């Protein structure tokens, strides 16, 4: 029984969805899933940071200077060191960092500017250089700055999921989808599932909640949620299973295989999706937004492209 249940909850679309793009059309997963994903709170920038690039840059610099003043004293800030110090400090104060406090940087291969760098925080959240960076070192600093700003701002009490926040978010979801209050109290409805997710994460920060929601966003994007429903998985089963499952190589591999199948049935589907994803990633990066969903999509699509390349090579 458990083996069958585990198979039904696999992230792959499987034979029922392979070879078509039907599972990717907006809304095919139903209002329930759409509510769960669209209603989830994202990661708004700190007050004053939204707007023009100049305003964002000023807000980032202000937060970096403030953090440095309280931890390192006045003077020039080594923002890369400051970001690492911030997370080591969190760990020393008892933060549950399952993979340690290491901050990981990834440079996008390039022989000429502008250079782009991504930084992944210990919890999995990802940010990128948001300025024109003439050197690789500057790209690294730019990524560290936006990550430090979000890390610091995420500690503010207003960024915690509280009863008040849950009520406000559920009310907004009800208004957006013309729902009624009974739906919010029923875990078998989309809005009820959304409420369940929020209440299950009460006390956590927005950054932590976004890290969890990335898994569901990817399952939605890939058509996996629809496939699970067709395999008779209940919404509660899916929520319970993936709320406690980290995004891992197995999930990425399963989704990449789905894209290999789609490309084989609809030539060009993979390249079109990759081009769209890269545009979204660049736009979000330059706006200073959290990037893990977009970055994971790109990595999955590149993995699929690599698998296709290997298949073509072996057939030659």
Residue-wise pLDDT tens digits, 53-77? 777 778 778 777 777 666 655 456 7
Report which of 159, 81, 30, 116 is spatially closest to residue 294, judged by C-alpha positions: 116
Model confidence at 245, pLDDT cuts 50, 70, 90, reads confident
Q: Cα 73 to chain center, whole Å?
A: 34
pLDDT classification of 23: cutoffs 50, 70, 90: very low
Give the residue with greater pLDDT, 227 vs 12. Answer: 227
C-alpha distance from residue 1 to each of 6, 7, 8, 11, 111 (Å): 9, 10, 11, 18, 54
- Report whether the peptide linkage leading into residue 247 is cis, meaning its omega lies within 30 degrees of zero: no
Contact 97, 207 (CB under 8 A): no
Residue range 32-60: mean pLDDT, rounded: 54
- In sequence order, which residues have a C-beta less than 8 Å from that of residue 278 and are 6 or more positions away? 298
> Cα(255)–Cα(307) distance, rounded to whole angstroms?
12
% of the chain with per-residue pLDDT over 70 = 79
Angstrom distance (rounded) from CA 152 to CA 149: 5
Would you place residue 211 in the very low, low, confident or very high pLDDT band (cuts 50, 70, 90)?
A: confident
Contacts of the segment 32-35: beta carbons below 8 A, 24+ positions apart: 32/189, 32/190, 32/193, 32/235, 33/190, 33/220, 33/225, 33/226, 34/177, 34/190, 35/173, 35/176, 35/177, 35/179, 35/190, 35/191, 35/193, 35/194
Residue 113 predicted with pLDDT over 50: yes
Q: What is the pLDDT of residue 207?
A: 87
Quick check: 1 pLDDT over 60? Answer: no
Mean pLDDT of 181-208: 83
Of 238, 222, 214, nearest to 292 by C-alpha is 214
pLDDT number for residue 42: 42
Cβ 297 vs Cβ 314: under 8 Å? no
pLDDT above 90: percentage of residues in the chain: 43
Segment 119-145 shows an average pLDDT of 95
């Amino acid at each position: 029984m458990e083996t069958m249940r585990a198979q039904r909850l696999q992230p792959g679309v499987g034979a029922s969805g392979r070879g078509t793009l039907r599972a990717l059309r907006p809304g095919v997963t139903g209002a329930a899933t759409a509510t769960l994903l669209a209603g989830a709170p994202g990661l708004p920038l700190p007050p004053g940071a939204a707007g023009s690039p100049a305003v964002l840059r000023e807000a980032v610099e202000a937060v970096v200077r403030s953090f440095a003043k309280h931890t390192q004293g006045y003077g020039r800030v080594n923002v890369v060191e400051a970001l690492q110090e911030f997370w080591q400090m969190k760990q020393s104060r008892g933060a549950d960092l399952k993979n340690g406090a290491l901050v990981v940087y990834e440079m996008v291969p390039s022989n000429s500017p502008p250079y782009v760098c991504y930084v992944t925080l210990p919890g999995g959240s990802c940010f990128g250089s948001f300025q024109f960076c003439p050197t690789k070192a500057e790209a690294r600093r730019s990524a560290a700055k936006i990550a430090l700003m979000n890390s610091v701002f995420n500690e503010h009490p207003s960024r915690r999921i509280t009863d008040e926040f849950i009520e406000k978010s559920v009310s907004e979801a009800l208004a957006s989808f013309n729902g009624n209050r009974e739906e919010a109290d029923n875990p078998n409805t989309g809005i009820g599932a959304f409420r369940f997710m929020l209440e299950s994460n009460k006390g956590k920060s927005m950054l932590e909640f976004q890290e969890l929601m990335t898994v569901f966003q990817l399952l939605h994007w890939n058509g996996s949620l629809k496939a699970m429903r067709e395999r008779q998985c209940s919404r509660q089963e899916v929520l319970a299973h993936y709320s406690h499952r980290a995004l891992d190589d197995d999930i990425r591999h399963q989704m990449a295989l789905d894209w290999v199948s789609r490309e084989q049935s609809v030539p060009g589907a993979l390249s079109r999706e990759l081009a769209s994803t890269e545009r979204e990633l660049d736009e979000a990066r330059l706006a200073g937004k959290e990037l893990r969903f977009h970055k994971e999509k790109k990595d999955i699509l590149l993995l699929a492209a690599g698998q296709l390349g290997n298949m073509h090579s072996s057939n030659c």
